[in-house]
Amino acid sequence: MKKILPILLLLSLYACTTEQAKPVQTASDNVFMVVLGIAQDAGYPQAACTKVCCKDLWNNTAHRRQVTCLGLVDKEAEKVWLLEATPDIKFQMEQLAACLPSRETHLPDGILLTHAHIGHYTGLMHLGREAIGAKEVPVFAMPRMKNFLQTQEPWAQLVRLKNIAIQNLQADSTLVLSKNLKITPFLVPHRDELSETVGYRIEGPSKKGLFIPDIDKWNKWERSIKKEIQEVDFAYLDGTFFKNGEIPNRDMSLIPHPFIEESVALFDDLAMEEKKKITFIHFNHTNPALNPKSAERLELLAKGYRLAEEGERQGL
Ligand SMILES: [Zn+2]
Ligand SMILES: [Zn+2]
Ligand SMILES: [Zn+2]
């Protein structure tokens, strides 16, 4: 017996680290956020990747992941919104519609964009003439993003044909989506070649959350991410790369993101309660945290962090 106890203890510790805490949504939640994709812009697997990260995924759909996207659902108002228009939008619209089956339309009541990198807006193409031929779907965009869509083809055609109706977003200005839901875009430093980049603060009747899928480095931001985390109930944060050197033969300083290793070091002095609010998302195909059995993933879970999973819901 004396020998068995420590083994049992070890086993139970191991069990704790392989399964992460479930996000909080109760059956009574009428307002919630749902995760519809967790991968970086290029998805998982990534085009032409022959490396170990992707090679088995071409024939195995179970482990594939969609591009980062969140859905917002207000059952009381019977409305749904998409955060991001990704290359996987046709699946994500279905998954979002399934959250509120009483609605006839499978189109969202609005699409809120963060920036003009391929994983975040090119899904808009499905609203155009070659696809849905939608009528004035509200697309919420910041000033540079709006200008980009209005002036660059083929996006300008969506505006001309009134497939989309661009709604103005302003940094730090709160948008009321419904009686229950508010959302506030805020600027974050990102490469910004074609548009500015925003993150969102989401506010429901009882919970608040943060969504920052892309940011160059935490210390380039004039705000303190640790303070921002303390002011919300949950935070979905840029987890693109695990550590420097992850993509061989590419200068990673040209595609800056806070490495998960750096974020974990920065958040080290946060109380466990705060760490548990943090869920990493927007994983590059090379990120070992995508692998359910990797040591990197288990280490993050053991430290109290979460890794976003498709289909998970956060009550708001
Ligand atoms: Zn991205
Ligand atoms: Zn790969
Ligand atoms: Zn980006």
Between the CA of 171 and the centroid of ligand 1 the distance, in Å, is 19
What was the pLDDT predicted at 28? 63
Between the CA of 307 and the centroid of ligand 2 the distance, in Å, is 18
Between the CA of 173 and the centroid of ligand 1 the distance, in Å, is 23
- Any idea which ligand is nearest the CA of 216? 3
Between the CA of 102 and the centroid of ligand 3 the distance, in Å, is 34
What was the pLDDT predicted at 15? 47
What was the pLDDT predicted at 220? 97
Q: Which of 246, 259, 214 is nearest to 117 (CA)?
A: 214
Are 20 and 47 within 8 A, CB to CB?
A: no
What was the pLDDT predicted at 308? 98
Q: How far is CA 125 from the centre of its chain?
A: 20
Q: Which of 106, 71, 61, 66 is nearest to 86 (CA)?
A: 66
d(CA 200, CA 68): 14
- The string of pLDDT tens digits covering residues 124-183 is 999 999 999 999 999 999 999 999 999 999 999 999 999 999 999 999 999 999 999 999
- Any idea which ligand is nearest the CA of 191? 3
**266 φ, ψ to 5°?**
-65, -40
Q: What is the DSSP letter of 53?
A: T
Are 140 and 167 within 8 A, CB to CB?
A: yes
d(CA 82, CA 124): 11
3-state class (DSSP) for residue 259: coil
Between the CA of 110 and the centroid of ligand 1 the distance, in Å, is 20
pTM for the complete prediction?
0.93
Going along the chain from its start, the domains and CATH numbers come out as 23-315 (3.60.15.10)
d(CA 15, CA 81): 36
Q: Which of 303, 311, 256, 243 is nearest to 277 (CA)?
A: 303
Q: What is the DSSP letter of 65?
A: B
Between the CA of 286 and the centroid of ligand 2 the distance, in Å, is 5
d(CA 218, CA 26): 32
- Any idea which ligand is nearest the CA of 286? 2
What was the pLDDT predicted at 27? 62
- Any idea which ligand is nearest the CA of 196? 3
pLDDT under 70 in the chain at which residues? 1-18, 27-28
